Amino acid sequence: MSDDENRQLALPSNAIEPVDGSPSQVGQMANVFAARSVFNDYLSRKADNTIRRQAGDLGRFADYLWQISDEMGEGMADFAEDVRDFPLLGTAPDVRVWQGITWGLIEGFRNWMVKQGDAVGSINVRLSTVKTYSKLVTKAGVIPPEENALIRTVVGYARKEARRIDNRRKKSRRGDKKAEAVAISEAQAAKLIERPDTPQGRRDAVMICLLLEHGLRVGEVTGLTIDDIDLKTRAIRFYRPKVDKMQVHRLTPSTFTALQAWFESGDAPEDGPLLRSSRKGGRLDGSGMTERAITGRVRALGEEIGIAGLSAHDCRHYWATFWASRVDVIRLQEAGGWSSLAMPRRYIKDAEIANQGMLFEVDEE
């Protein structure tokens, strides 16, 4: 390996210059090869949806860097595109783009997003992504370990802090992400499920039931296939990418009825994805619905009954809130496909009496 090849990636400041035939040379050569593959190894382990989301996070970081430095902004924008294209091309992005990234820039990025009106949840996620990649490039020797230690001190916002920030800043928000879920009443949920007896209506009934009555994430709905449905046992089997596990749900009566109509009418495809896309006018077209298509359709169905800005996640929120007061939190966690109790716990309202149901009778003498 030539000196130029050794220096193609920035090495740690304490790197020992290789000497021909020495153990140091072997070790440094291993470091160089490992540095080149650090992103390839990381991205190859991630789901495509995660990679796309991280690419968007990095793109937002690039927006900020443009205002600080044209060169850094351009480099990070290219880096984000390389991350987005990784599943298709298999080519890892260049770690050298991160040279010059400091804790001050990352803290500035967080503060800039607040001023821009980004949702606090989005700020936390984007900050986490940037810190993850900072850790990787530190491992590759591009950022000094002491700088990464400072980067780790840049933190997002807790729920109480988020409420204070939202209360104090202007009431304008950037993008479509909502601070609070759109509330759905039980009567509205029933209206959403009640679809017309048309091909598109039968398709929509299946889609809405899966979202409202089973709490599936939009990505989980798009991943469903014909083989995942078993009407004989009234069950549905599906994969949850977020927690990397297969689950089985018993079909609710409404979901069973909707699926039965979907299959018996001949609307359902013979194999492949469960749902079919549709064109304007309601004609079904091909097979499979993208997450974007489901999101748009849910929004349209909500507007039909007077709910503005309805999303697929709002349907999941309705499902979780409905069952939070009816089952224990462990059951809710399992049914909802969460990896910890933190998320299902958020749907449980604080009781007026903290120890309600925990009393026991004491024998009186």
Q: What is the pLDDT of residues 18-66, one digit of tens each?
A: 445 555 555 555 555 566 678 888 998 898 888 989 998 999 999 899 8
- Residue 203 phi/psi, 5° resolution? -65, -45
CB contact set of 288 (below 8 Å; sequence gap of 6+): 222, 272, 273, 275, 276, 277
pLDDT at position 6, please? 40
- The confidence band for 170, taking pLDDT boundaries of 50, 70 and 90, is low
Strands 284-285 and 277-278 turn out to be antiparallel
Q: Nearest to residue 91, comparing CAs of 83, 99, 103? A: 83
pLDDT at 286 over 90: no
pTM (2 d.p.): 0.58
In a 13 Å sphere around the CA of 50, the CA atoms on its Cβ side amount to 14
Handedness of CA 54, 60, 64, 69 (dihedral sign): positive
pLDDT at 7 over 60: no
**What is the average per-residue pLDDT within 97-123?**
90
pLDDT at position 339, please? 80
Q: Nearest to residue 106, comparing CAs of 52, 147, 159? A: 147
- Owner of token pair 């007026």: 352
CA distances from 3 to 20, 28, 32, 285 (A): 11, 12, 11, 58
pLDDT at 279 over 50: yes
DSSP 199: H
Dihedral angle over CA of 161, 165, 168, 172, nearest 10? -150
Long-range residue pairs from 49-56, CB within 8 A, at least 24 positions apart, any chain: 49/219, 49/241, 51/83, 51/84, 51/86, 51/87, 52/84, 53/125, 53/129, 54/83, 54/129, 54/132, 54/133, 55/80, 55/81, 55/83, 55/84, 56/80
Q: Give the integer Cα–Cα distance in Å for 218 and 228.
A: 16
CB contact set of 253 (below 8 Å; sequence gap of 6+): none
Residue type, 288: G
pLDDT at position 351, please? 46
**What is the average per-residue pLDDT within 183-211?**
96
Domains in the chain with CATH codes: 3-168 (no CATH), 186-345 (1.10.443.10)
Q: Nearest to residue 248, comparing CAs of 262, 232, 234? A: 234
Q: Nearest to residue 175, comparing CAs of 79, 68, 75, 59? A: 59
More confident residue, 353 or 64: 64
Strands 245-250 and 277-278 turn out to be unpaired
Reported in sequence order, the residue ranges of the chain that DSSP labels E, i.e. its strands, are 229-230, 235-240, 245-250, 277-278, 284-285
